């Protein structure tokens, strides 16, 4: 029967159609599976501070290393998702030290970019983590309210002295820069900043697409008062749409608060007075 050419062509054509359909369905199923596996699950964690935040302080004295066991003793690089998912070392869910440690560990786990908008920043521990990140090559941009930058114990001068880029809303009259959020390894920010520095390679581009990004947002300034005595909240999440929305707004503010020509002409400006020493810091462009 197969000796008949029309029959053979019909059978071959049918087989070809079947195989094509099987191949198409298989490729589609494989692609869907790959995208599902590749897509990170959405996570969130909540930092709350209240009147109980210091109730465990006595138990931490002389035991600080155990509190930060992961950040101090980990043999492998920190992963931001692991930091969010991990159980707090302290039994007190509102613990001041544990909450600060979690933010520090997230900063320590950041690889490409940190965009921080904060009304006031006085935490020495967090500021040191920012400097540490900058020294290992993370691109850091900080927006601080003009009044907050000059507040008591502000770390603005210390950070600028370390060459970290900071912009103030000094030429925007009558408006507070009241945001309190931080974006770690935002895909859009990291690509934009690395491209600006001619460091965006194909490998880096692909890695940024797959790296975990984190948004921290809430009511709390990064101050000891906020973490120890105030009633505050900070939401930690890897929700992609939120990260991009906040990244867009940060970029808009970064451009809006670019130093004026008069600010640029005075390269060195007195920022604050710490420990009886004047710190002279320059505007980062």
**Segment 22-31, tens digit of pLDDT:** 666 766 666 6
Check residue 113 and give its pLDDT.
Answer: 99
Q: Is 18 helix (H, G, I), strand (E, B) or coil?
A: helix
The whole-number average pLDDT for the span 104-124 is 98
pLDDT of residue 172: 85
Does the pLDDT at position 268 exceed 90? no
pLDDT at 9 over 80: no
Q: Residue 171 — very low, low, confident or very high, per pLDDT cuts 50/70/90?
A: confident
- Helix (H) or strand (E) holding 279, with range, is strand 277-282
What pLDDT is attached to residue 69? 39
Strand order in the sheet with 139-144: 44-49, 232-237, 214-218, 180-184, 113-118, 139-144, 165-168
Mean pLDDT along residues 47-58: 95
> Residue 55, Cβ neighbours under 10 Å: how many?
13
Q: How far apart are CA 284 and CA 259, in angstroms?
A: 9
Mean pLDDT of the 247-254 span: 98
Which of 57, 66, 62, 68 lies closest to 107, judged by CA? 68
Beta bridge partners of 268: 282
pLDDT digits (tens, 9 = 90+) for 181-217: 999 999 999 999 999 999 999 999 999 999 999 999 9
Q: Strand 113-118 vs strand 139-144: parallel, antiparallel, or unpaired?
A: parallel
Strands (E), the chain: 44-49, 113-118, 139-144, 165-168, 180-184, 214-218, 232-237, 268-274, 277-282
104 pLDDT higher than 90? yes
Identify the weakest region by mean pLDDT among 54-58, 128-132, 178-182, 190-194.
Answer: 54-58
For the cut 90, the answer to whether the pLDDT of residue 67 exceeds it is no
> Smallest Cα–Cα separation from 84: which of 110, 107, 102, 66?
102
Given a cut of 60, is residue 282 above it in pLDDT?
no
Q: Higher pLDDT residue, 175 or 60?
A: 175
pLDDT > 90: percent of the chain = 65
pLDDT (mean) for 227-244 = 98
The arithmetic mean of pLDDT across residues 232-252, rounded, is 98
Buried b (16+ CB within 10 A) or exposed e, 94-104: bbbbbbbbbbb
Supply φ then ψ for residue 282, to 5 degrees: -110, 155
Average confidence (pLDDT) over 80-100: 93
Residue 63 has pLDDT above 90, yes or no: no
């Amino acid at each position: 029967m197969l000796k008949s050419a029309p029959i053979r062509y019909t059978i071959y054509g049918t087989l070809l159609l079947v195989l094509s359909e099987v191949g198409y369905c298989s490729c589609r199923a494989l692609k869907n599976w790959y995208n599902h596996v590749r897509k990170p699950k959405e996570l969130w964690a909540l930092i709350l501070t209240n009147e109980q935040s210091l109730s465990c302080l006595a138990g931490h004295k002389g035991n600080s290393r155990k509190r930060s066991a992961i950040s101090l003793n980990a043999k492998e690089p920190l992963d931001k998702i692991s930091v969010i998912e991990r159980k707090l070392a302290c039994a007190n869910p509102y613990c001041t030290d544990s909450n600060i440690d979690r933010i520090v560990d997230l900063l320590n786990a950041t690889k490409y970019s940190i965009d921080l908008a904060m009304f006031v920043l006085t935490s020495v521990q967090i500021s040191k983590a920012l400097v540490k990140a900058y020294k290992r090559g993370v691109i850091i941009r900080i927006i601080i309210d003009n009044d907050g930058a000059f507040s008591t114990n502000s770390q603005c001068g210390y950070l600028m002295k370390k060459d970290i880029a900071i912009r103030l809303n000094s030429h925007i009259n009558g408006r507070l820069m009241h945001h309190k959020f931080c974006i770690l390894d935002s895909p859009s920010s990291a690509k934009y900043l690395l491209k600006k520095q001619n460091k965006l390679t194909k490998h880096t581009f692909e890695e940024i697409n797959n790296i975990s990004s984190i948004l921290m947002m809430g009511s709390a300034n990064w101050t000891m008062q906020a973490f120890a005595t105030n009633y505050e909240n900070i939401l930690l999440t890897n929700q992609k749409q939120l990260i991009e929305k906040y990244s867009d707004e940060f970029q808009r503010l970064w451009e809006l608060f670019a130093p004026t020509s008069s600010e640029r002409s005075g390269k060195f400006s007195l920022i604050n007075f710490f420990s009886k020493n004047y710190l002279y810091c320059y505007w980062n462009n």
